[in-house]
Structure 1
Amino acid sequence: MKIGISGTGSYIPSIVTKNEAFLNHEFLGTDGSKFGYDNSTIIEKFRAITGIAERRYAEPELKTSDLGYLASEKAILNAQIDKEDLDYIIFAHNFGDLTQGKIQGDTLPSLATRVKHLLKIKNPKCVAYDLIFGCPGWIEGIIQASAFIKSGMAKKCLVIGGETLSRVVDEFDRDSMIFSDGAGAAILEADPATGEILAHASLTFANEEAYYLYFDKSNRSGCCQDTRYIKMQGRKIYEFACIHVPKAMAECLDKSGVGIDEVKKIFIHQANEKMDEAIIKRFYKIYGKEVPENIMPMSIHELGNSSVATIPTLYNMVLNGELPEHNLKKGDVVIFASVGAGMNVNAIVYKY
């Protein structure tokens, strides 16, 4: 059975925040100490490593479920399906709906249920649920939806990845410059006219790696002690990703039966430009190859790291011709790959 993506959509928020917006921030270390250099130096080093020059923040009136709904509308329209025919709505996120200025995430009801409500889907057999799997959540949602279709439990599924990370960052933490907001969505169905998932791989490392990404108090001691923010051990994540993501990608590719030279594009989670480049280099090294030119589309420079939304929004941008130097034609083989909190790693080999 051929199972593929028949439609995509995304919502990129309109609020652009450039690196210069952080020049007057008070950045502190995890122990509350000040750095030995000014913010212009911090920002310069940050851009050199991450590649991020600006990022997008959600409009104050919109929550994560709203972003997911707006992306889903476009995906349904692009796939030219009746929304009432959807069997599953899977919404991958990590923090629920976050209202600007409030400290509590809201997941009651689930964000998938909220999207179903906003879409005005009446069919009760359209099952809606959320998936928390770190940044690889959207890929994992595609893997789960594919399994539902393959088993005969579903014919059409909507998989969403969305986040408003700008509302869970600690303004006193320089890592706050990494994170952004956005949402991407895809329709998955069994249809010879669509593409085809050729193989997948999923892994969870939950021993010493489990808390490389975590929730903790502000770096500034005077802040509310009841509020928690997204925190990460950047160096450990970098080293972990460079070891485990290339291996997962190779395992997935070998399982697919596709040769390395047949891969046309690699859509990797937009976490950090230097890290992504290192992952791709190590992946090709496994096969004794150099990295081909123009193999890896990137959106992190303008959009930042929107967690589960980075891959579906990037894929949608390429399909819509928004990255002119990157394009796909029918039959091209691509790889989706991600790493994130958990620590989770996954990949899909996909024939467009």
Structure 2
Amino acid sequence: MISGVLIADNFIKQGIVRNCMVVSGEFISTIAHNASKTISTFDTKELASLTVGDAGAAVILSRNESDAGFEVLEQNTYARYQNLCYGALSTSFPGAYMQTLMKKLHKAALDESADFIEVCLKKHQLSFDKIDILIPHQTSQKAINIGAKRLLNHFKVKKVPKVVSNLELYGNTASTTHFIALYHLLMAKKVQKGERIMLLSHASGLVMGLVVFRLNAIVDRYGN
């Protein structure tokens, strides 16, 4: 979804289109089903597969002349961590399987996040204390808590953004996770016009994405 939003934003800025729909679907629960048949200890490489959930999401982006909209859209690849997660078609069961060095992958994501965010915000002349809502990748509650604490310590902010977690409801829905969380915030009327929202994505590999934006009239169209 984050990659799609980046592409759509470029199309709109170039005048190729005025409106663009980004769609993503995740049918990855087969890796959880397959992992449940093979896991024997907490050190099993397929343990992280048990956290995933199926989901679909779509977002429509439109040319906007107001002061709302995207302020940051960045991605970066840390290919040196590519060996920490591996997925392929299973030869034993229907569907796929995934093997992850979970602790090392979480550590890599945590170690790189603060510097990545700092570089991106400086590039766009923003500071972390201007963020009202943070939606991190929904991997595990422990990772979200530790990651949020790391960011607060790194940026030494007095104003703490609201950190969103919907793991209890949906688990890790991979590429759709941020927009599912945003949708439920909008439906619950928990987003105010002009609030600055940050989406922080981590994809195994390791790829990081950062999106910062503000919403305007769309806030009124949800939760009624």
Question: What TM-score do you get using the length of structure 1 for normalisation?
Answer: 0.54
Corresponding letter in the other structure for 1:200: L
- Kindly state the Cα deviation for residue 194 of structure 1 after the two structures are TM-superposed: 8.3
User: Does residue 206 in structure 1 map to residue 73 in structure 2?
Assistant: no
Structure with larger Rg = 1
Question: Which residue of structure 2 lines up, in the alignment, with residue 287 of structure 1?
Answer: 155
Output the CA distance in 2 between the equivalents of 1:194 and 1:291.
23
Map 1:200-349 → 2, pairs under 5 A: 200-207=73-80, 209-215=81-87, 224=92, 228-289=96-157, 292=160, 295-321=162-188, 327-349=190-212
Which one of 165, 174, 182 corresponds to residue 55 of structure 2?
182
Aligned residue for 1:289, secondary structure, equals coil
Question: Which residue of structure 1 lines up, in the alignment, with residue 12 of structure 2?
Answer: 149
- Conserved 8 A contact 1:165-1:180: yes
Output the CA distance in 2 between the equivalents of 1:204 and 1:251.
14
Deviations 1:259-299 (A, max 9, x none): 3222110011101111122222222222223672x611110
Identity across matched positions, percent: 20
- Conserved 8 A contact 1:284-1:291: no
Question: Which residue of structure 1 lines up, in the alignment, with residue 70 of structure 2?
Answer: 197
Output the CA distance in 1 between the equivalents of 2:138 and 2:87.
21
Corresponding letter in the other structure for 2:202: V
- Conserved 8 A contact 2:129-2:157: no
Deviations 1:141-198 (A, max 9, x none): 1111111111122211111232011123322234332111111211111123583111
- With over 3 angstroms needed to count, the CA separation of the structure-2 counterparts of 1:158 and 1:287, relative to structure 1, is same
Output the CA distance in 1 between the equivalents of 2:95 and 2:8.
35
Corresponding letter in the other structure for 1:195: A
Deviations 1:227-259 (A, max 9, x none): 641221101111111011222222222223233
- With over 3 angstroms needed to count, the CA separation of the structure-2 counterparts of 1:179 and 1:233, relative to structure 1, is same
- Conserved 8 A contact 2:53-2:170: yes
Corresponding letter in the other structure for 1:205: Y
- With over 3 angstroms needed to count, the CA separation of the structure-2 counterparts of 1:233 and 1:188, relative to structure 1, is same
- Conserved 8 A contact 1:267-1:297: yes
- Kindly state the Cα deviation for residue 216 of structure 1 after the two structures are TM-superposed: 5.3
- With over 3 angstroms needed to count, the CA separation of the structure-2 counterparts of 1:226 and 1:351, relative to structure 1, is closer
- Conserved 8 A contact 2:29-2:53: yes
Output the CA distance in 2 between the equivalents of 1:184 and 1:217.
24
- With over 3 angstroms needed to count, the CA separation of the structure-2 counterparts of 1:216 and 1:156, relative to structure 1, is closer
Output the CA distance in 2 between the equivalents of 1:144 and 1:165.
24
Output the CA distance in 2 between the equivalents of 1:334 and 1:165.
27
Question: Which residue of structure 2 lines up, in the alignment, with residue 65 of structure 1?
Answer: none
Output the CA distance in 1 between the equivalents of 2:121 and 2:99.
32
Structure 1: gaps spanning 5 or more residues: 1-137
Task: Supply the RMSD in Å over aligned alpha carbons.
Answer: 2.3
User: Does residue 165 in structure 1 map to residue 33 in structure 2?
Assistant: no
Aligned residue for 2:132, secondary structure, equals strand
